[in-house]
Structure 1
Amino acid sequence: MRKIYTLPFLLLLFLLPTLCNAQLKQIPLESGPEVKATKTAPSQAMHLGFPNLNKIPYYRDSKKLAEIQRLEKKKQYAQALPRLEAYVRSFGIQNFYKDTNLLWRLGQLYERQGRMEQAMEVYRLVLKHHRTDVRQVQSYYDSLEQNTKDYYVPLSYYYELVEYRKSLSTYKPPRGVYLNMGNGINSPYEDYGPTLSAENNKLIFTSKRNIQGQGLEDKVNEDLFYSDGSGDFWSEAQSFGKPINSIYNEGSATLSRDGKTLYFARCESPDGYGNCDLYKATLQPDGTWHEIENLGPNVNTSAWDSQPTLSPNEDTLYFASDRLGGFGLSDIYYTYKMKSGGWAPAKNMGPVINTRQSEVSPFYHPKYKVLYFSSRGQLFNFGDFDIYKTYLVGGRWQEPRNIGPLVNGRGSEYYFTIDSQSKNLYYARSEESDIKNLDLYSFPLPMEAHPLAVTKVEGTLRDSVSNRPLTGIISIIDLDNGIEISSKYIRPDGTFAFNLIDNARYMMIIQSPDFFTIERELALKQDTSFQIMATVIDHNIPLVFQNIEFDPNESTITADMHNILDEVAFFLVENPSFRLEIAGHTDAAGDPDFNKVLSQDRADAIMYYIQQKVRIEEGRIDAYGFGSTKPLREEKTEEDRRINRRVEFRLIKPTLQGRGIDR
């Protein structure tokens, strides 16, 4: 079951009274492996906890606020900081939109103390929960974040890079990006909410394909369907049938590891507590589903409660709800099993996961402490709703990370599911032009979305002469599989960072119109940091390569020349608006006419080699032979003659930079 809200509903929700959850005991620490025992996940570490979130709706202490204000007026910031930090830790949910200014002030105090990680943490909370115009805050945050955030290459240009590399090497594009699961699974109506069995051989999903006539209008009925198979082949979808599917709407299911308990949503049922409720059903020995039970008032409310997912040890259930008392239009909540076997009163997951907008369709990885969910309120979206992942580290969920443009497009993405081997993903997405019609998609899991992509590779690119930072595009290739992983722009300060899987081999390829392509092979075993130096091309000075030396009186390209000529050829492919001039020169010995012909033959030989290597179109390369007419120095020694015998390359930069790496 899915629910998408519009702005008028948002305004109404803000005016409604907020309900207080009952005081609850702390959720037990979940079992299941941390993503990495020796390192934290690749997200900003969270240091603030908010123990009052599910106890009180709003916290206020006028005396403490006055004391903090008094210390700030006296510029006694070191004394004000711990008091304001303690006050913010006491926040209830309503404080995050009513007292956003206190979060901003806390961030400024952190910044004064040089504690930038903590400052950025609360600045992110400000941007997630403000309900006023904070363009100045956004601008300030962006200025601080510009050298740490990811600058993804636009997807269309990324695939141009992939196609270019396919013509030069065996590197392949990411396999099957945006593969629709086809007519055997999808229908002309909305299909969404995929989930997998523990053995990855049963796909369960929701569909609106069952249209029932009702007077002059058709009634859409949401039902659960399933398909048997594997990641490579799925049988034609079948309806669950009765009693799972009913005259009411069912959907958004999750299955227990043993396959015997199905949790799902049912809407507008007479035994429900609200709009949609969470239920469970038990598999019978004869293969039918019965014993359908509402999960009860500790889980369900008078609002919309849907989209369940189980933790790996199945003692915690996460779901989406638009109940009153949350942070935004819909939030993600969790409940856990008590010793009695029942479910404890549900708790809100807090201000790091939930925002003033909508968070929906949570999915807990079947092996690792990684939660995926869809959001339109996090700080970096490619489209409307995007999918994010967050790691549980030290008992706290870390800052969510967008899983990148290979999954998230300009439309909306929901209901992200991964098989237990982390090989394939399944999710629902809509095209930008048809946001209402969701289809199911499946393809191999990209690196950005992989739960084990927590080993950091970071570095800096600098000019070898001036030491100033350089910009460009850096791409990562999985050498074990020959697959492109990701491409990003290098940050304004010359830095870059990727989160990869350790004990694997990668190739880094750095491209720019300012220098020849750089390649670095990396056998990754731990977090790695390094500096790369590049020699910038001065387009006003011809390039002369020492190993471009022909045999006497010959114009044949030798094997020693291949590497340099290949670099020049690849540069022209990477920068299609550049042109190349090749100028051949000889020394003054011998017949001048012969020397001119020889130099022309050598320049032509280089031009033909490059054109054949990368199929450069005609007209982009000019070849000239000058013989001995343009010496660099007077020939008094053999060294003088050697210097005059040369081939000059001039890369001509276009007047207006066209397509390329400019952001």
Structure 2
Amino acid sequence: MKNIFRILSCLSLCLTAWLAPGLTARAQLQQDTTDVRNLPIPLFKNVNRTAYYSDAKKLDQIKRLEQKQDWPALYKALKAYVNNFGIQNFYKDTYYLWRLAKLSELVGNPDEARMYYRLVLKHHRSDIDLRTIELHYNELNKNEADLYVPLEYYYELVDYRRQVDTLMPPRSVLLNMGENVNSYMEDYGPTLNFQNTLMILTSKRNVQQVGIKKTVNEDLYFSELQDGVWSEAEPLEGINSQFNEGSATISRDGKTIYFSRCDSPDSYGSCDLFMASQQPDGRWGGVKNLGANLNSIAWDSHPSLSQTEDTLYFASDRIGGFGMSDIWYSVRSRSGEWGPARNAGPVVNTRHSEVSPFIHPRYNILYFSSNGQNLNFGEFDIFKSYWKWGRWGEPINIGPLVNGAGSEFYFTIDSEARDLYYAASKQDKMKTWTFTPFRCPWAPSRWPPPSSRAR
């Protein structure tokens, strides 16, 4: 699979920018036109309207056109039908996606064909011949493969960094956060304020033992950046309780924290999303559940605010999604109420699991972790998606300099897009690490930010 999807690995960590000066003008143009960030993505307007779309008359028309072998008309009719898919159609009617991908090839639209093949690979069940799809996808990509950084080049960089003296590390080297932040227990779910001076993380260091019974409580802790050094992590009083708290995100003004709380009597499901406000004396309080519109009877966690702070993205394993867990979002009304949860759609979500959504505070990029996308280096990898045409584009693996053989999730990126803080699985524990990636040309997008006003 990695060879088939080599085209996607080019976009991780902006390393393609290193090759641009050496490309011919023609190759540069080809690179621009095949960049997955610029491909039109169907709206799939029914994803949050109907569970399953079916129209017998249109299906009869599609069948007649196929019998007549009227390929242009069939392409048009099938595309219109597929673009009306609900969530269940993607795994029940994957054949139509597969047929549309082949028709897109036939009418001379290889970029569109690639997009539909990717959807087939993300959502197929057992009734699709994957080998055939892979052959088609690989054939479409063969002419563009040489325009991208080979996978082996990334591994050479990784090997080089193993030989670097970490006492004075250059950029792009993994650094453990140290004993001030990390503990002997699991530490994960870091988030930063907009000024990059306050970190809130989740930890299981609060262990209570009475006799032979040991209880591990999941709590929120904070650390402040003082003279370039992160202070010793302290419990976030006013929010932590006898229940489990974690996965926080903080508003731009630093006065509101959104977080998850589990096993609480005022929850609708196993874990719900809550909010807390900073009180006049500087302490945290006013904790309240975000309500039944947003929360479900299942697991809801990993909140992240949009730039405009009127949309809250989160992960949930509620019934009605594409896979085991999906990325969802809720839009806040002008009266301050959170609206019904909406699914982020079939381009971002897969038949497996998507978790840990993170909206960058300055740039229109959604980061998240997944074990179901078309290119994974390990178990859960970190991906990014660009906001274009009023929707999220094809996810891009950020590459093996971050994503390893284990799982990478629970992360945040500073507002200057310089440092990536994340949890990586190391044997049987997770620790919070900081990764300083290559400086990428994060030019602000001219497209509107992902908010209710933009939709």
The two structures have a TM-score, normalised by structure 2, of 0.84
The 1:163/1:249 distance shift into structure 2, 3 A limit, reads: closer
Q: Distance in 2 between matches of 1:154 and 1:189?
A: 35
2:156 is the counterpart of 1:157: yes
Structure 2: stretches of 5+ with no match in the other structure: 1-31, 446-455
2:229 is the counterpart of 1:233: yes
Structure 1 residue identity aligned to 2:233: A
Deviation per CA, 1:3-61, whole angstroms, max 9, x where unpaired? Answer: xxxxxxxxxxxxxxxxxxxxxxxxxxxxxxxxxxx999862513311111111100111
Shift of the alpha carbon at 1:157?
Answer: 2.8
Shift of the alpha carbon at 1:410?
Answer: 1.2
2:435 is the counterpart of 1:443: yes
Residue aligning to 1:263: 258
Residue aligning to 2:289: 294
2:220 is the counterpart of 1:224: yes
Q: Distance in 2 between matches of 1:398 and 1:63?
A: 32
The 1:214/1:51 distance shift into structure 2, 3 A limit, reads: farther
Residue aligning to 2:207: 211
Deviation per CA, 1:401-445, whole angstroms, max 9, x where unpaired? Answer: 1111111111110023111111211111113xx1x4111111323
Residue aligning to 1:192: 188
Deviation per CA, 1:426-481, whole angstroms, max 9, x where unpaired? Answer: 111113xx1x4111111323357x64499xxxxxxxxxxxxxxxxxxxxxxxxxxx
For the 8 Å contact 1:200–1:230, the answer to whether it is kept is no
Q: Distance in 2 between matches of 1:336 and 1:53?
A: 16
Q: 1:320-469 to 2 correspondence within 5 Å?
A: 320-431=315-426, 434=427, 436-447=428-439, 451-452=442-443
- Larger Cα-atom Rg: 1
The 1:173/1:286 distance shift into structure 2, 3 A limit, reads: closer
Structure 1: stretches of 5+ with no match in the other structure: 1-37, 167-171, 455-663
For the 8 Å contact 2:173–2:437, the answer to whether it is kept is no
Q: Distance in 1 between matches of 2:190 and 2:390?
A: 28
Shift of the alpha carbon at 1:161?
Answer: 5.7
Residue aligning to 1:112: 106
For the 8 Å contact 1:178–1:441, the answer to whether it is kept is yes
Structure 2 residue identity aligned to 1:118: E
Q: 1:581-596 to 2 correspondence within 5 Å?
A: none
2:82 is the counterpart of 1:83: no
Residue aligning to 1:121: 115
2:125 is the counterpart of 1:131: yes
Which residue of the other structure, out of 46, 58, 61, is the alignment partner of 2:40?
A: 46
Q: Distance in 2 between matches of 1:316 and 1:382?
A: 31
The 1:140/1:277 distance shift into structure 2, 3 A limit, reads: same
Q: Distance in 1 between matches of 2:227 and 2:431?
A: 17
For the 8 Å contact 2:172–2:437, the answer to whether it is kept is no
Residue aligning to 1:69: 63
Structure 2 residue identity aligned to 1:209: R
For the 8 Å contact 1:46–1:397, the answer to whether it is kept is no
SS at match of 1:128: helix
SS at match of 2:267: coil
Task: Provide the aligned C-alpha RMSD in A.
Answer: 2.4
The 1:147/1:428 distance shift into structure 2, 3 A limit, reads: farther
Residue aligning to 1:142: 138
- Provide the identity percentage: 53
SS at match of 2:206: strand
SS at match of 1:183: coil
The 1:162/1:215 distance shift into structure 2, 3 A limit, reads: closer
The 1:95/1:371 distance shift into structure 2, 3 A limit, reads: same
Shift of the alpha carbon at 1:65?
Answer: 1.1
Structure 2 residue identity aligned to 1:195: T
Shift of the alpha carbon at 1:152?
Answer: 1.7
The runs of at least 4 aligned residues of structure 1 exceeding 6 Å deviation read 38-41
Shift of the alpha carbon at 1:138?
Answer: 2.4
SS at match of 1:153: helix
Q: Distance in 2 between matches of 1:230 and 1:319?
A: 31
Residue aligning to 1:549: none
Structure 2 residue identity aligned to 1:84: L
SS at match of 1:43: helix
SS at match of 2:355: strand
SS at match of 2:367: strand
The two structures have a TM-score, normalised by structure 1, of 0.58
Q: 1:606-625 to 2 correspondence within 5 Å?
A: none
Deviation per CA, 1:494-553, whole angstroms, max 9, x where unpaired? Answer: xxxxxxxxxxxxxxxxxxxxxxxxxxxxxxxxxxxxxxxxxxxxxxxxxxxxxxxxxxxx
Greater length-normalized contact order (CA 8 Å, ≥ 6 residues apart): 2
Q: Distance in 2 between matches of 1:396 and 1:421?
A: 24
For the 8 Å contact 2:110–2:140, the answer to whether it is kept is no
The 1:40/1:430 distance shift into structure 2, 3 A limit, reads: same
